[in-house]
Amino acid sequence: MTDLDGLLAFAARSRLADGGFGYLGADGRVLPDRPVETWIVARMTHVFGLASLLGRPGADELARHGVVALTDGPLHDREHGGWRSSTDDGTKAAYVHAFVVLAGSTAATAGVPGGRALLADALEVWQTRFWDDEQGLAVEEWDPAWTRLDPYRGANANMHGVEAMLAAADAVDDPVVADRLRGQARRAVERVVHGWARAGDWRLPEHFTATWAPLPDYNRDEPADPFRPYGVTIGHQFEWARLALHVRAVTPEAPAWLLGDAVDLFAAAASRGWAADGSDGFPYTLGWDDRPVVGARMHWVVCEAVAAAAVLAEATGERSYRDLAERWRAYGEQRFADPATGSWHHELTPSGEVGTGTWVGQPDAYHLVQMLLLDGRPVRGSVAAALR
């Protein structure tokens, strides 16, 4: 079974001497030809913040290393505010900023020096540049100077925005701010899950126009895009189901639909996704007819399936979810686990070989660490709060 300490040791190899964390290749070495990417720096900062809460040796320093990189490094735009997507991409993306909020939240919860200041800065940018209170959702992407807003709107960035707002609510000192953030997270879940997913018989659209009209054919010609794939993304449906339960956990007198929708969305992802092409595992994406579009198996999809099942088991007490979590975890350990690194291969072909159609290497410890840490713990707004 995957060992948390071994995985953290692997993740630590992403530390860059000049600041932040790099993209790890299949051999556990930073790929030298890639820029420093904010989403990776933020995710790794979050991971080491969680490790710090667990008292793991060296985690405090690594989390602090990430906080300094996000605060004082070149990814932080001191002139215009916010964070560049990478050292060679100046765009300001909601997806990226959601992870900066998450990193600041976890660092603040763990007492990492500078974490609370990072959170305050990131939250202010999120609230003023990305959160659209009229729509109850976040916009997607700005140019470097915040002068042009891209017309595309996306569910993926909003999903991680929900995660970030819940984590921030658990980390801030002001209960009024915490209540507002939790309310915003609930509104986003209601719009996406209780709205579009339910209306689509639990086939969740991912891509939208500026007025939030669904774009069902978006990226049909680039279906394996790592962040904006065409069709139904099984892993995201598991994530949304789990996030609905995190919202429910911090909502007084929570409406019944939060649990009911999580159960139904999870069931649709599990029944339509597992072995959809006749082979074990979850294809990356399905078409609107439930047939596989991108058959590659992604490690993060298995991780999110296991995490969602584990959280449902905690929320409902039903053994069937625990059985699914154990079954899918065993599948992941058998197929994805890489004993040479302590992490998991990020992509496999349907027949089980290492694939590179969407992901190269093993850059991301975020999904796998959270899968390990959510198992058997009480459901809270955030993973950090469950550890605390």
d(Cα 371, Cα 312) in Å, to the nearest integer?
A: 13
d(Cα 330, Cα 344) in Å, to the nearest integer?
A: 13
Q: Are 236 and 155 in contact (CB under 8 A)?
A: yes
174 to each of 61, 120, 181, 184, how far by Cα in Å?
27, 12, 11, 16
| Nearest CA-CA partner of 75 in 67, 65, 87 | 87
d(Cα 209, Cα 143) in Å, to the nearest integer?
A: 18
d(Cα 171, Cα 123) in Å, to the nearest integer?
A: 11
CA 372 to chain centre: 14
Instruction: Name residues whose C-beta falls within 8 Å of residue 310's C-beta, 6 or more positions apart in sequence.
Output: 321, 322, 325, 371, 374, 375, 376
Q: Are 187 and 251 in contact (CB under 8 A)?
A: no
Q: Reading across the β-sheet that carries 292-298, which strands appear in turn?
A: 232-233, 283-286, 292-298, 347-348
Question: In sequence order, what E strands does the chain have?
Answer: 92-93, 131-132, 137-138, 141-142, 153-154, 207-208, 232-233, 283-286, 292-298, 347-348
What residues act catalytically?
Answer: 236, 367
| C-alpha dihedral sign at 69, 75, 76, 78 | positive
d(Cα 124, Cα 365) in Å, to the nearest integer?
A: 27
Q: Which two tokens stand for residue 276?
A: 């959809």
